[in-house]
Structure 1
Amino acid sequence: MEPLPSLHSELSFKEIPGCRSAEELKEARIACQERLLEQKPFMDLYTWIQQVNRMHDEIGRRAVHIGEEHMKGAGFGQPPARYAFVSFGSSGRQEATLWSDQDNGMIIGDEVDEEGNRYFQTFGEVLSDILVTAGYPKCSGKVMCSEPMWRKTLSEWKQQLDQWSSQHAWEPTRYFIIASDLRHIAGSQELSEAWCSHFQDCIDQNIELIPALLRNTVRHKATLNVMGRIVTERFGEHAGGFDVKYGVYIPLVNSVRTLALQRGIVETSTRRRIEKIILLEGGGLLLENVQDAFRVALKLRTETQTEWEEGFISSSGYMSREQLKDKQIQYDLRNTLGVVRRIHRSLQRELRAAERKGR
């Protein structure tokens, strides 16, 4: 997918293209994120997030170049086949924060041989390590090009997508959902396009897939009680706080993604997905509420508590008990959670209708 259009002139990330090592990339990233933080008060939310993700993309592309050079220096030579470096997760959706971890993969051309596969195994590990040095922690779910599950030839990827889309249990459906956010970063655009084309074929050819997607989407713990009050954490280090990522942001992302996949919308950005759904459906109060709620969720996500370590930012994703005392935050969060509840109820009705139809 193409980057979202900017409403303002783009920030300069001039430090990134000249980096020749992971350490240089780390220093460039620190300089660029400082510039982003300086400009944040003066930029529209969506524009600022777009710039954050443009930085991530440029770092990803430079990491690929540095990785290739490392492989040559280590005696592996040039890449033995075409490949595409791709992103998933919030990076795939162009919604990554300054503390997002790795969510990436690799598509390798079918012309690769056994020796070439060994090259890409090492290359995937090298690339993941470069990104760690540059401030991207390894994904706890192991969605990384260093892992065989997310580094495959195009034919292997097609077989994997076929399996995930035809097995409607929770886990294969979850993997298919993760895959749906794929976005090309570097390498062969042709491979990424072929992957996306097959992904869409999987949706078109599996009528039972949509109910499976709906079942996964509506699985969500309650975040408003029967009185309409925010349900906060009861125990642990975040007691009294609220998990913005999994309590409000991810439920909205998942709901919009499912609505988009149902309608054959080929986008990865949640914002663009909402816009295209509204255009296709001719508007609608609930959809417009979802659009507004998503913007609030992104805003709240940028305001969660953060910590600094060695020039990098980390966040638990929680708003603290103290932050939740702010009346505006309470109001925004409660309204947004109300939208989450309404869109989930709508999807639950669709699921029940689909299940009745399938009997």
Structure 2
Amino acid sequence: MEPSWMERFDVSIYNAVSTEQLRGLRDRMHFELRPSLFEDVLEWNRSVNAAHDRLIAGTISLAEQTLRLEGFGTPPVPYAFVAVGSAGRMEQTLWSDQDNALLYDEPEAGREEEAETYFRQLSERVHAWLQAAGYPPCPGNVLCTNAQWRKPKSGWAEMLRQWLDDPQWENVRYLLMVADLRSIYGEAGLARELRADYMRMLADRPSMLEHMLQNTLHHKITLGVLGNIITERYGQDAGSFDVKYGAYIPLVNGIRLLALADGISASSTIERLDGLREKGTRRAGEVDRWREAFTIALELRSLARHEKEGTLYTSRGMLDPETLTKKTRRRLKSCLRTGMELQQIVRKAVQKTADHAPRKRGGSA
């Protein structure tokens, strides 16, 4: 039997020895996967994210090999290269950017600087080569090259505690990003341990959900009071709909917070929906409507206008007016109505949890 394109893709990544080859593989992803979007949205999403994972893992492996050949040795301790954001949730589009971090095991006493130097060099190579392959850097600098997002286990644990003890807006935003954290390469057990620590810390501070609620509801569903879709009024996007922040992100945020409130540690939206359904704290029909709305948002987000800026794939998440056909508008309105209901449910659920949660004496939220 002739190997599938994904099998051939894997072989090509394994044999890649240059950034030019990595770039060619990224272009090949677009050529192979773009036409199959409408066959099965969730299956298409799995294929896209599996391809991203393979390409990123291949880039890291190539960076390791290059450092070894240049005399910098091998990783001094086990580590996990992790993704957050849409990559952590396995919800990247074909043109997603870099949202990543690095977590490594505790080095022996006296070898801390050696470990930091090695992983800094590795991160710089991976970051540069992913850019060369077409991945723009995260605008918020959530990147393995940022020392804040490259730490040993103890450093990550301390950072989480600091954020939890000082729930200002930016710290809460980071905590929600860590909820999406997933290992792409290396010692996956390190990422699982960090997620388990995170869930325990959050369970000890149930009032943190109230702070997370403010962040979660920051992006509103963009449906008018008369049920009309709210599009951009001015500028180059006039008449377009912001599907990323007007539909997709509010659904993702709401489902994530409900999952955290129920102690569900899954990182992807679909797995969180499965967890909510299995746990039985939400009606099955309710969860099914959220799944349908999320699937619509995922599909429409993948249809958003995209472009190449130099060598980078980019998108502002806008649906062009010509894409908003009568059928698309009908499906989008259904998605948005469900999203509005979800945001109301999230607010009530978190407030109910907060009302029944024991308050810790002398502790901060």
User: TM-score when scaled to structure 2?
Assistant: 0.90
Matched residue pairs, number? Answer: 349
Q: Do the aligned residues in 1 keep the contact of 2:206 with 2:354 (CA within 8 Å)?
A: no
Q: Specify whether residues 235 and 17 from structure 1 end up closer, same or farther in structure 2 by C-alpha distance, changes over 3 A only.
A: same
Amino acid at match of 1:137: P
Q: Specify whether residues 38 and 338 from structure 1 end up closer, same or farther in structure 2 by C-alpha distance, changes over 3 A only.
A: closer
Q: Which residue of 1 aligns with 2:6?
A: 11
Work out which of the residue numbers 13, 17, 21 in structure 2 matches 1:20.
17
Aligned-partner Cα distance in 1 for 2:221–2:311:
36
Q: Do the aligned residues in 1 keep the contact of 2:261 with 2:350 (CA within 8 Å)?
A: no
- 1:86 pairs with 2:85: no
Aligned-partner Cα distance in 2 for 1:197–1:304:
35
Q: How does 1:36-47 map to 2 (within 5 A)?
A: 36-41=33-38, 43-47=39-43
Amino acid at match of 2:106: D
Larger RCO (alpha carbons 8 Å, 6+ apart): 2
Q: How does 1:132-171 map to 2 (within 5 A)?
A: 132-171=131-170
After superposition, the C-alpha distances for 1:255-281 in whole angstroms (9 at most, x for unaligned) are: 010011111112111011112202212
Aligned-partner Cα distance in 1 for 2:55–2:243:
26
After superposition, the C-alpha distances for 1:122-141 in whole angstroms (9 at most, x for unaligned) are: 22111111111111111101
Aligned-partner Cα distance in 2 for 1:275–1:238:
36
Q: Which residue of 1 aligns with 2:94?
A: 98
Aligned-partner Cα distance in 2 for 1:219–1:311:
33
Aligned-partner Cα distance in 2 for 1:220–1:24:
39
SS at match of 2:184: strand
After superposition, the C-alpha distances for 1:246-302 in whole angstroms (9 at most, x for unaligned) are: 110010000010011111112111011112202212634432211110010011111
Q: Specify whether residues 232 and 18 from structure 1 end up closer, same or farther in structure 2 by C-alpha distance, changes over 3 A only.
A: same
Which range moves more in the overlay, 220-229 or 59-68?
220-229
Q: Specify whether residues 338 and 270 from structure 1 end up closer, same or farther in structure 2 by C-alpha distance, changes over 3 A only.
A: same
SS at match of 1:81: coil
In the TM superposition, what is the alpha-carbon distance from 1:311 to its structure 2 partner? Answer: 7.5
Q: Do the aligned residues in 2 keep the contact of 1:166 with 1:209 (CA within 8 Å)?
A: no
Amino acid at match of 1:321: P
- 1:60 pairs with 2:75: no
Aligned-partner Cα distance in 1 for 2:181–2:89:
8
Which range moves more in the overlay, 152-161 or 205-214?
205-214
Aligned-partner Cα distance in 2 for 1:85–1:180:
16
Q: How does 1:1-359 map to 2 (within 5 A)?
A: 11-12=6-7, 13=9, 14-41=11-38, 43-111=39-107, 112-221=111-220, 223-281=222-280, 283-308=283-308, 313-324=313-324, 326-354=325-353
Q: Do the aligned residues in 2 keep the contact of 1:173 with 1:212 (CA within 8 Å)?
A: yes
User: TM-score when scaled to structure 1?
Assistant: 0.91
In the TM superposition, what is the alpha-carbon distance from 1:164 to its structure 2 partner? Answer: 1.7
Amino acid at match of 1:219: H
Q: CA RMSD in A?
A: 2.0
Q: Specify whether residues 288 and 191 from structure 1 end up closer, same or farther in structure 2 by C-alpha distance, changes over 3 A only.
A: same
Q: Specify whether residues 81 and 10 from structure 1 end up closer, same or farther in structure 2 by C-alpha distance, changes over 3 A only.
A: same
Amino acid at match of 1:202: M
Percent same amino acid among aligned pairs? 35
Structure 2 unaligned segments of length 5 or more: list them.
360-365
Which range moves more in the overlay, 286-295 or 217-226?
217-226
